[in-house]
Amino acid sequence: MKKGIFIFSLLMGTIAGAYSQKTPAYKDAKLPIAQRVDNLIALMTVEEKVEQLQSQLLFANDFDKRNYKVGHVRNKAHFIHTKGMESTVRCAEMINEDSREALKANRLGIPVLQHGEALHMALWGDATCFPQSISMAATFDDEFYYRVAEVIAKETKAVGVRQVYAPVVNISRDPRWGRTEEGYGEDVLLNSRMGVAFVKAMEKGGVVASPKHYVDNYGDGGHDSYASNVSWRVLREVFLEPFRACIEEGGARSIMASYNSVDGVPASSNHRLLTDILRNEWNFKGYVVSDYWGVSGVHSAHKVADSYAEAQALCLEAGLDIDLPGGYGDLLSLVKNGRISEETLDLSLRRILTVKFELGLFENPYVDPKKADQTVHSKEHRAFALEAARKVMTLLKNDENTLPLSDKNIKKAGVFGPAANVMSLGDYSGPFGRAKSEHISGSVTPYEGLKRRLQGKAEIVLHQGNTDVVELARTCDVAIFFAAIQEGEGEDRSILTLPKRNMKTAESLDNAMIVDTGEKLSFELDQEKMIEDLVASGVKTVVVLQNGSVIDIRRWADKVDAILEAWYPGEQGGIAIAEALFGDVNPGGRLPVTWARHAGQIPIYYYIKPSGRGYGYLDDDGKPMFPFGFGLSYTSFEYSDLVLPEKVNKNGDTKVVVTVKNTGAVKGDEVVQLYLHDEQASVVRPVKELKAFKRVTLNPGESRQVELSLPYRSFGLWDRDLKFIVEPGVFKVMIAKDAATTLLEGKITAEQ
């Protein structure tokens, strides 16, 4: 009997051993992720560990050079727009194929993480194109923006892309920086709330968000990636705060280090940033990626390493886990020669594998192309893109109620300018940036949007190069000029006026110069002169701006009748612009930046600290063209009955209530803004800081009590030792329409 039991036990042990060999613990989805990670790391060779910290970027026609063993790849569908639009099905199939080959090449079956971009759309194929980031900041509505990001996450995940290098939460205090359009403007709170909304939606949707660029990604003069010369106090008070919020509140599982140096140390190899603050202070559990070729820059640009190999060692030790896009090529030799310990390697490896398990890639590495096709650019998503475009419209000037235009009075409208019949979408727009509207289902240019809006009611004429501006304008009831600027990544500006732009033409104009583009003659349009010519025609002149940053509009702003800031409004922007011009939509956007009059005022932002002398210049009063938070409406609002407690709530949010009434004749949106000022502190504090905002929609005559919540942290500061505390004291509470227009005031006391 005992012998039988022994044989049975031996047999069962053999079977169990065989099963464990076939199915290691890391493949058991029922086990805790930490246990699965431990098991997998124990089975990996040093070579396999290094491969998981490496990445690859290849253009679509170079995929024969793909190393399928590396752990991260820029998804193949990202680059197909270099040859034109591709269907969602094809995008999903290509990514599936790449993931399948990666699993075949990997001894342990570790899935590859397909990454890409998603600044304001899933950047591949025919994904839905939403308004640019700065446009969404103008909505002052982070709850709505969360819903936008939810759609982007669905379309991103649908084709198998599981990490995106977004959002950009670099605060822009200098509009000369070409990438201002990619972020959320100048304010700390607005950047934080919009960034958190985006990150939360992406992470909840199963896509890893990577706030970037960590940190202070531009320098003196608005130059991209210049060395950061701001103090650690300013870094703490301003530039680091949105990243903290994205991690602690948003749950970001990745972050991208910036190219620049901070306090003399490259961000990519900055232990204070990547380990002390990010991980030890903010308890960040995810992984850090470099900006593209950022690690090599530690050697080649910053010159703090004597070789690229040493730069890799410095970055990994500082806490940078993945060298994009094809780096850490010397990591294996660095480990084998003892420069990098295997323990250091495992530290980064653990972070990356944990996220891959969390994403479920080991169980579900593929997507269903047919389901993806049903999700991406669906009718519902296109309709939501239109809703988003409507919300970004920002009215800057409206003399004598020129807007809204009446389709009963307008029989002929003239459309002018370089942005009139093109898709103005901003940076990181993928195939949309290279396609005409007719190639994108449901998308329209402003000219096409006006034609649709006025079909059967008025004639819309598009100015051509062989038509005299004044002569054409005088045949119209209104002239609408669509302006454009040049900006974006690698396109910082020193001159903020409207640039001259090329337009297709057959003949010359008085205010234009013929240019031979090598394909077809075009004329170089002097935008500012054309605006002045339109004004000189005596016809009502409306300027529509499509841009992502401040423009010097002094030359013509006082002469035109109305200015509508449409930003980069996404694929449905043409419809939304027409609706806003004719009153179907009441513009409710607000400026997320202080609008400088000219470049000589820069940097200019509202939350300055007190001056010992003054705020103007010898030849300029220092006041902007428009303040932060500014925006007009087709209706009017009245504020009353400010209610606030005597003391700050230390154990939760402090509630402030104000009554807002629509006193006009049409429905409209108002953005209620709450600013604080610490009346006495141990360190110098800004004259005011935005600490809460809420966008509300009110019908004519409607009143509403609007509640604004102030977290306890809202009353805090970084003390003389750079420790964050809430000091006892009195705070001025300001309810305002914008940073320069306070309507109601009160005081509240904070206790330690």
In tens, the pLDDT along 615-624 reads: 999 999 999 9
Q: Is the pTM of the predicted complex or chain greater than 0.75?
A: yes
Task: For residue 500, give the amino acid letter.
Answer: K
Q: What angle do CA 156, 161, 164 make, to 5 degrees?
A: 80
CB neighbour list of residue 23: distance below 8 Å, 6 or more residues apart: none
- pLDDT category at 432 given cuts 50, 70, 90 is low
- pLDDT category at 85 given cuts 50, 70, 90 is low
Q: In Å, what is the CA distance from 318 to each residue of 351, 620, 701? A: 14, 46, 59
Instruction: Report the C-alpha dihedral over residues 443, 448, 449, 454, rounded to 10 degrees.
Output: -150
Task: Quote the strand ranges of 145-270, DSSP E.
Answer: 163-164, 208-209, 218-219, 223-224, 254-256, 261-262, 265-266
Q: Could you give the 3-state DSSP secondary structure of residue 15?
A: helix
Instruction: Write down the pLDDT at residue 61.
Output: 78
Which residue's structure tokens are 């005409």? 436
Query: Strand 265-266 relative to strand 254-256: parallel, antiparallel, unpaired?
Result: unpaired
- pLDDT category at 525 given cuts 50, 70, 90 is confident
Q: What mean pLDDT comes out for the span 456-469?
A: 89
- pLDDT category at 287 given cuts 50, 70, 90 is very high
- pLDDT category at 444 given cuts 50, 70, 90 is confident
Q: Which two tokens stand for residue 611?
A: 């001056």
Is a pLDDT exceeding 90 seen at residue 695?
Answer: yes
Is a pLDDT exceeding 70 seen at residue 408?
Answer: yes
Spatial separation of the C-alpha atoms in residues 259 and 203, rounded to whole Å:
25
Instruction: Write down the pLDDT at residue 443.
Output: 73
Spatial separation of the C-alpha atoms in residues 225 and 222, rounded to whole Å:
9
Q: Are 38 and 273 in contact (CB under 8 A)?
A: no
Alpha-carbon dihedral sign for residues 675, 680, 681, 683: positive
Q: Are 295 and 323 in contact (CB under 8 A)?
A: yes
Instruction: Write down the pLDDT at residue 433.
Output: 52
Q: What mean pLDDT comes out for the span 578-593?
A: 98
Q: Which two tokens stand for residue 198?
A: 């985006």
Q: Could you give the 3-state DSSP secondary structure of residue 644?
A: coil
First to last CA, the chain: 76
Instruction: Write down the pLDDT at residue 523.
Output: 58
CATH label, 391-598, candidates 2.30.30.90, 3.40.50.1700, 3.40.50.2300, 3.40.640.10: 3.40.50.1700
Instruction: Write down the pLDDT at residue 431.
Output: 59
Higher pLDDT: 259 or 22? It is 259
Instruction: Write down the pLDDT at residue 435.
Output: 42
Q: What mean pLDDT comes out for the span 333-355?
A: 98
Spatial separation of the C-alpha atoms in residues 204 and 293, rounded to whole Å:
30
Spatial separation of the C-alpha atoms in residues 414 and 540, rounded to whole Å:
10
Instruction: Write down the pLDDT at residue 83.
Output: 52
CATH label, 637-750, candidates 2.70.150.10, 2.60.40.420, 3.40.50.300, 2.60.40.10: 2.60.40.10
Is a pLDDT exceeding 50 seen at residue 15?
Answer: no
- pLDDT category at 47 given cuts 50, 70, 90 is very high
* C-alpha closest to that of 324 among 64, 102, 115: 115
- pLDDT category at 610 given cuts 50, 70, 90 is very high
Instruction: Write down the pLDDT at residue 507.
Output: 39
Lowest-confidence region among 204-213, 269-278, 357-366, 608-617 = 608-617
Q: Which two tokens stand for residue 167?
A: 């959002």
CB neighbour list of residue 610: distance below 8 Å, 6 or more residues apart: 684, 687
Instruction: Write down the pLDDT at residue 516.
Output: 39
Spatial separation of the C-alpha atoms in residues 256 and 195, rounded to whole Å:
14
Helix (H) or strand (E) holding 392, with range, is: helix 379-392
The model's pLDDT over 67-82, given as tens digits with 9 standing for 90+, comes to 999 999 999 988 775 4
Counting DSSP H helices and E strands in the chain, the numbers are 21, 29
Query: What is the percent of the chain with per-residue pLDDT over 70, rounded to a whole number?
Result: 92
Is a pLDDT exceeding 90 seen at residue 506?
Answer: no
Q: What mean pLDDT comes out for the span 104-128?
A: 94
Tally Cβ neighbours within 10 Å of residue 451: 19
* C-alpha closest to that of 305 among 294, 291, 289, 319: 294
Task: Report CA 113 to chain centroid distance, whole Å.
Answer: 22
- pLDDT category at 732 given cuts 50, 70, 90 is very high
Spatial separation of the C-alpha atoms in residues 516 and 507, rounded to whole Å:
12
Task: For residue 707, give the amino acid letter.
Answer: E
Domain ranges of the chain: 28-375, 391-598, 637-750
Which residue's structure tokens are 């040493």? 310
Which residue's structure tokens are 């004598």? 400
Question: CATH says 28-375 is which class?
Answer: alpha beta
* C-alpha closest to that of 503 among 556, 463, 476: 463
Tally Cβ neighbours within 10 Å of residue 612: 4
Helix spans in 489-609 (H): 527-536, 554-557, 573-581
If you average pLDDT over every residue of the chain, what do you get?
92
Q: What angle do CA 349, 242, 261 make, to 5 degrees?
A: 65
Instruction: Write down the pLDDT at residue 237.
Output: 98
Q: Which two tokens stand for residue 285?
A: 């559990």
Spatial separation of the C-alpha atoms in residues 122 and 134, rounded to whole Å:
17
Is a pLDDT exceeding 90 seen at residue 505?
Answer: no
Q: Are 105 and 69 in contact (CB under 8 A)?
A: yes
Instruction: Write down the pLDDT at residue 22.
Output: 76
Q: What mean pLDDT comes out for the span 83-105?
A: 90
Q: What mean pLDDT comes out for the span 561-579?
A: 97
Q: What are phi and psi of 512, to 5 degrees?
A: -140, 160
Spatial separation of the C-alpha atoms in residues 459 and 524, rounded to whole Å:
27
Task: Report CA 620 to chain centroid distance, whole Å.
Answer: 33
Instruction: Write down the pLDDT at residue 503.
Output: 61
